[in-house]
Structure 1
């Protein structure tokens, strides 16, 4: 079971935005039920009283760690949300996947959709699924696993996890993934958002924030 730090690691803050390094095991936004109240959003609203009620503009899965940006104002929320919708935000991830990959890299194009009978599982569906594109690059490998870098072009739910695990993708689930791989519930999933590049909603400056994977 992952131990969640008591203190949130804030990488940057001003009157418009907050950038954090989300730990694995902590929700990005609160879920349903009292056991799912603790989240990055909940903690930020306690830390910064002027923050809007719904500050999240994107998501990371509970067991994914790494860089996230949150809005402090309504104007910032609209601006950042539009940047994500227009695919203007550049994201880079690192992961450790099961098995040894022989290719140095490539591009995965694999459409999928939610399985309503087994939420939140996403399933391959070339007809009715949403298009999803991931560029990937091999970093290193040992006799059991491979470290890869992901450059997601689209931002679908569970995109990197599905593209890693599916036979038409890497056919190599992310280590610790309990939904698409061989991990157990509560395992540390070895997927980390290492870099986030976006335009500041007020100043218009290009900002890039980075975080080193904890694995």
Structure 2
């Protein structure tokens, strides 16, 4: 059984809509409606209608049928390795590459490539995300560190949890950022209806801290360096949207651009203590061509 308690922000939704948000794509709305009609979803211990409107404090339980986890397979996918030893590796993920298999992206992911590159990686971490200790959004480019054994996985995971990893991003955002330096520390959490999106949540959100420094200002855009203290889902994108400066080309939290086909966000620097020796490892990555072209275009507009 799986169980959820309805919070204040999640009250007032149809039962199937609420469950769809909680399950984040694990089942379709039609599958959930069928499950509810068959009596496998209880609200406060009793069966309920698909049309039931959730109330604060409701305890919702759902019978779960075990489904065998499909393990990702090793594939011949190009892998751009920037650092590697017996314990870990740092890879460059281009924009457009998904980190791990998920509904809609069953293969051709970074994990599939890693399984073909690292012997016995399938035994490290979870079955669905072997070796993975952090992620980048599909349309964000840049560096990721991957664990090659269980000890490294535990150590690196703790460094991320303790917020000791050095992570520097470059972003082009819309509008003129007024302060040369600053921070955003608004809590973030899943959006109320579309659970695939994130929003600033002063109440019920998770702590999130983003530091930024303006590197260059254009007519109606700013080039910024961003440092993450925490690493929440979509944190940079949501914080800059909240500040009124959505990331250029971000069609989810801003709007698309004809100048770049994805959000102009690049994970440029990754620094961490080596999981076995403790030596500080520092890896840098130049900005990809599409972001360089965007900056050149913005500079040309000023001329």
Normalised by the length of structure 2, the TM-score is 0.65
More strand by share: 1
Find the counterpart in structure 2 of residue 3 from structure 1: none
- Aligned with 2:121: secondary structure? coil
C-alpha contact 1:52 1:73 (8 A) present in aligned 2: no
Distance, in Å, in 2 between the alignment partners of 1:197 and 1:146 is 25
Count of residues paired in the alignment: 205
- Deviation string for 1:27-63 (max 9, x for gaps)? 1222124x34222111111122232341100011111
Query: In structure 2, which of residues 69, 79, 82 is the aligned counterpart of residue 8 of structure 1?
Result: 79
Query: In structure 1, which of residues 58, 72, 76 is the aligned counterpart of residue 148 of structure 2?
Result: 72
- Aligned with 2:154: secondary structure? helix
Find the counterpart in structure 2 of residue 176 from structure 1: 249
Distance, in Å, in 2 between the alignment partners of 1:139 and 1:29 is 33
Alignment gaps of 5+ in structure 2 = 1-76, 124-129, 292-303
- Aligned with 2:116: secondary structure? helix
Cα distance, 1:117 vs structure 2: 2.2
- Aligned with 1:79: secondary structure? helix
Cα distance, 1:116 vs structure 2: 5.0
- 2:198 maps to 1:198: no
Find the counterpart in structure 1 of residue 109 from structure 2: 39
Distance, in Å, in 2 between the alignment partners of 1:103 and 1:206 is 32
C-alpha contact 1:10 1:21 (8 A) present in aligned 2: yes
- 2:225 maps to 1:152: no
- Aligned with 1:42: secondary structure? helix
C-alpha contact 2:200 2:239 (8 A) present in aligned 1: no
- 2:100 maps to 1:25: no
Q: Mean alpha-carbon deviation: is it higher for 194-203 or for 108-117?
A: 108-117
Q: Which runs of 4+ in 1 moved over 6 A?
A: none
- Aligned with 2:268: secondary structure? strand
- Deviation string for 1:184-212 (max 9, x for gaps)? 7x932110011011011112111000101
- Aligned with 1:209: secondary structure? strand
Distance, in Å, in 1 between the alignment partners of 2:107 and 2:154 is 24
- Aligned with 2:168: secondary structure? strand
For the aligned residue pairs, the C-alpha RMSD in angstroms reads: 1.6
- Aligned with 1:52: secondary structure? helix
Distance, in Å, in 1 between the alignment partners of 2:86 and 2:122 is 12
Alignment gaps of 5+ in structure 1 = 1-5
- 2:219 maps to 1:143: yes
Distance change >3 Å, CA 43–CA 84, structure 1 → 2? same
Distance, in Å, in 1 between the alignment partners of 2:157 and 2:140 is 20
Q: Which has the higher contact order (CA 8 A, sep 6+)?
A: 1
Higher Rg of the two aligned structures? 2
More helix by share: 2
Distance, in Å, in 1 between the alignment partners of 2:246 and 2:276 is 39
- Aligned with 2:122: secondary structure? coil
